[in-house]
Amino acid sequence: MARTTKELCEHLNTRFKELQNIRHSWEPGWRDIARYQIPQRGDFLRTPGQSDRGTKKNQAIIDMVAHFALRVLRAGLMGGLTPRTQPWFRLTVPDERVANSAAVKVWLDHVAERMLMVFGQTNLYQTLHLLYGEVGGFGTACALMQSDFADVCRFYPQTIGTYWLANDYRGVTDTFIRRFAMPARSVIREYGEDRVSADVRQKKGKAGADSNVMLVHCIEPSDEYEEGAFGAKGKKYRSVTWEEGKDDKLLRTSGYDRWPVLAPRWEVLADDPYGTGCGHAADSDVKSLQVLGKRQHNAVDKHVNPPMAFPAELRSQPSGTTPGFINYFSGDLSQKVGRPLYQSHPSVIGPLKELIGDERDIVNRCYFADLFLMISQMEGVQPRNQLEILARKEEKLMLLGPVLESLHGELLKPLIDWGFEEMMRHRLFDPPPRELEGWPLEVELISMLAQAQNAARVQSIERSVGFVGSLVGAFPQAGDKLDVYDAIDKHADAIGTPAGVIRPTDKAQEIAAQRAQQAAAAQAIQTGTALAQGAKTLSEAQVGDRNGLEALTGTPPMAEAA
């Protein structure tokens, strides 16, 4: 049964309050991370008309190591997972026989190339750069995906504190509520003058037209969904926008066929809608660094400019310590010169520096900066050999493995699926081959980090092929055990080789068969030539009254036969 506007407003406001209560316990941790680590991000319950967005937000930070470590993490994930300058994913199907078909491989490669081209024309890579920073620091990131007439698709990143999330029974995000500001004149233009409240309508063309109005946007599973219905009822997800505090009117009611929100989480406990990230792990050490940094500055300041002690009678006397300043004293000068109240020793700063260095090292490890800067920060003689570098890299990538799986499942795969369906809807691909009918597509990452994780698989293939090759010289039958075509296919898949570089197995077998036929024909010609030459030689040799050929075959001499 369809809800009335009043019932829908009551339902949405009730859900909004419930999600606010659920998120309340997460906010103190986010505020601390935003204050001491990521001051540029985070926005908590901004009021309408607020105009302090440009004020300084890093005044609580003395030591910026967390900010730099997050910058390294963000750049490392961007370049390692989704580099703009090279392919970072490919499409395949779960059935190996279908996936190895030449027509399927070519079509899937064409689709991936077209998707990468479209992604490069949108704001996707700017959005991903922001998402990696949010998910790494706050543990949760969020972006809204929308269809766009000019760019096919458009992405709208959110910052922590401006949205609320909820999960379904499987622990997958299925509810998204955001709170955002929009100038009054833009609200009227976007939603229509007849839909906005009287307070907003009266600002049209007058003072206050550029003042912000707080809006609320909710996307949730629709309980009125009817398959094949027109309008919002035919959408699996309901999308509703309204003015905050105006419970009697909705600005827009629409829907989505597919879930349009990216909500990756760094690490999740149980069925929490929000995750914990590197910022949570580094929080106590970052706060300690601020205290230690302040103490270090105080120690240096007390040593360079220590507190002074002066005789009381000099209280009203002018004095100064700047170069060239002349101080006048009467009487015994030794009794009237100011002296340091105490004198600190520079050695006391050393232990502070060591403690600060230890804390910075912990923060860098929390943000995996030591992994992404492994080469430049490697101890010992530079450069190391390639084998040692690969061994260290694989060891450290084991720590990042679970995080990469989470980003693949909650960020990159939903992104690619949504982009594929959006481009299919716009008919930007050639028709798929018949072999793909009924098969779901799967996403495989082929970025640098994904290939680094596959390095063990690649090395096992290379070692096996090398081992068999070393045996063939002494035991030729060992080569019969190796399926060369399958080894080449699996090696190419592991390192992300384009489909056009490696021929399909059936095509390679046809070429091998043709080569064998040509070799057999050449061998037959060579054998026939040798036989003819041998027969000629025998016919010219005399054995008694017969030639060699007659003697060999038992044929009587030609004269006798005649």
Question: Which of the two residues, 311 and 85, has the higher pLDDT score?
Answer: 85
Whether 29 and 38 have beta carbons less than 8 Å apart is answered as no
Top pLDDT among 144 and 105 is at: 144
Bridge partners (DSSP) listed for residue 158:
142
* Tens digit of each residue's pLDDT (9 = 90 or more) over 341-381: 777 777 778 888 899 999 999 999 999 888 777 654 555 54
Question: pLDDT of 250-259, one tens digit each?
Answer: 999 999 999 9
Q: What is the 3-class SS of 329-378, one letter each residue?
A: CCCCHHHCCCEECCCCCHHHHHHHHHHHHHHHHHHHHHCCHHHHCCCCCC
Structure tokens belonging to residue 440: 């779901």
Q: How confident is the model at residue 455 (pLDDT cuts 50, 70, 90)?
A: low
Compute CA 507 distance to the chain's CA centroid, rounded to the nearest angstrom: 36
pLDDT digits (tens, 9 = 90+) for 72-89: 999 988 988 898 888 888
Say if residue 383 is preceded by a cis peptide, omega within 30 of 0: yes
Is the CA virtual torsion 314, 319, 324, 326 positive or negative?
negative
SS3 for 9-21, per residue?
A: HHHHHHHHHHHHH
Rounded to an integer, what distance in angstroms lies between the CA atom of residue 240 and that of residue 251?
A: 8
Please list the residues that pair with 240 across neighbouring strands. 218, 253
Indicate the pTM of the whole model. 0.79
- Cα 316 to Cα 287: distance, rounded to the nearest angstrom: 43
pLDDT band at 500 (very low <50, low <70, confident <90, very high): low
C-alpha to C-alpha distances, 5 to 2, 242, 251, 253, 473, nearest whole angstrom:
9, 11, 11, 10, 82
CA–CA dist 69, 37 (Å, integer): 10
**Are the CB atoms for 401 and 453 separated by under 8 Å?**
yes
Q: What is the pLDDT of residue 397?
A: 63
What 3-state class would DSSP assign to 272? coil
Please say if the pLDDT value at position 562 is more than 50. no
CB-CB contact of 426 with 152 (8 Å): yes
> Residue type at 269?
L
